[in-house]
Amino acid sequence: MIQTVATVLHNTQLASCYGRIGLACKGAFALAKPGQFVMLGFPETIHPLIRRPFSIHRLLTANGSLRGIELLYKTVGTATRRLSRLAVGEPVSLLGPLGSAFVLPAGAGRIYLAAGGVGIAPLLFFAEHLAGNQLRAIECRLFLGGRSREDLLCAEDFDKLGIAVVPTTDDGSCGDQCRVTTPLEDAIRLAPPDLVLACGPREMLACVLGIVRQHGIACQVSIETMMACGMGACLGCAVKGHRDETRFLHACMDGPVFDADEIEL
């Protein structure tokens, strides 16, 4: 893990409140794994004071070596509004890579990915990692949910990787009008996967945990909690342990990727 100042390589607005930002960085970031995150701050001003956590969305490479990382962000408040306005060449402070990563079990033949909204961010990194490591033989399907069509991000990137995308929206503007967990559960019944990886809003992840536990499917979830330090110091990111409510885990150090049988949401 390193702390560094990274300059903006690109900052592209996607639909409505989403954007993708490329940040020039090297060193330890070359070893980042899908599921890990960074704490991002603004070095030139003290507002906002506290760094914010973002999943690593992609590694940016040129001629086989790392050029930087890319983040996918949703503008929701002070820090993400500033992020959305950054121009090429402007600096941000980065601490990372932090936290746990998705683990691919040996011999996995079928994997289902489930994403809600900006929760797609670490799953594209995972999918590109599979493709980059000649793991195309693994059958992979993405269940992609959002409130509306504009909240379904990165579908074309998964298409390019040959991963089938099953879209759902709350308002029916794209795919079936239902929760993303509905086609996920149908698929689990018809063709059980070796592993489910999920990232999205807490309620969605709680539903995924219920489904995989009922069907006895291995699952890893990447959770989003409030984080102030990202390094185990503030204890602000505590989550309850599964079957033992007196046990707390910390999303920044023990997670953000947890096995389904580790936590309760």
Ligand X SMILES: Cc1cc2nc3c(=O)[nH]c(=O)nc-3n(C[C@H](O)[C@H](O)[C@H](O)COP(=O)(O)OP(=O)(O)OC[C@H]3O[C@@H](n4cnc5c(N)ncnc54)[C@H](O)[C@@H]3O)c2cc1C
8 A C-beta contact, residue 252 and residue 237:
yes
Considering only 27, 77, 109, 162, the residue that binds ligand X (CB under 6 A) is 77
What span, in angstroms and rounded, lies between the C-alpha atoms of 102 and 104?
7
Which segment (20-28, 76-84, 174-182, 205-213) binds ligand X by CB under 6 A? 76-84
The nearest distance, CB 76 to ligand X, in angstroms, is: 4
* 198 touches ligand FES (CB under 6 A): no
Q: Is residue 114 classed as helix, strand or coil in its secondary structure? A: strand
Q: CB nearer to ligand FES: give 2 or 226.
A: 226
| Residue 232 interacts with, from ligand FES, ligand X, none (CB under 5-8 Å by kind) | ligand FES
Considering only 20, 33, 58, 74, the residue that binds ligand X (CB under 6 A) is 74
| Residue 224 interacts with, from ligand X, ligand FES, none (CB under 5-8 Å by kind) | ligand X
What span, in angstroms and rounded, lies between the C-alpha atoms of 137 and 190?
20
Name residue 73's beta-bridge partners. 19
By CB under 6 A, what part of segment 217-246 binds ligand FES? 227-230, 232-237
Which two tokens mark 97?
A: 């890579």
Q: CB nearer to ligand FES: give 37 or 73.
A: 37
* 236 touches ligand X (CB under 6 A): no
* 80 touches ligand X (CB under 6 A): yes
8 A C-beta contact, residue 202 and residue 239:
no
DSSP 57: -
Please list, in sequence order, all residues whose beta carbon lies within 8 angstroms of the beta carbon of residue 238, skipping any fewer than 6 positions away: 248, 249, 250, 251
* 199 touches ligand FES (CB under 6 A): no
Please list, in sequence order, all residues whose beta carbon lies within 8 angstroms of the beta carbon of residue 37, skipping any fewer than 6 positions away: 53, 54, 55, 56, 96, 97, 98, 99, 122, 230, 256
The nearest distance, CB 238 to ligand X, in angstroms, is: 12
Residues near ligand X (CB under 6 A) are 37, 48, 52-55, 71-74, 76-80, 118, 121, 224-227, 256
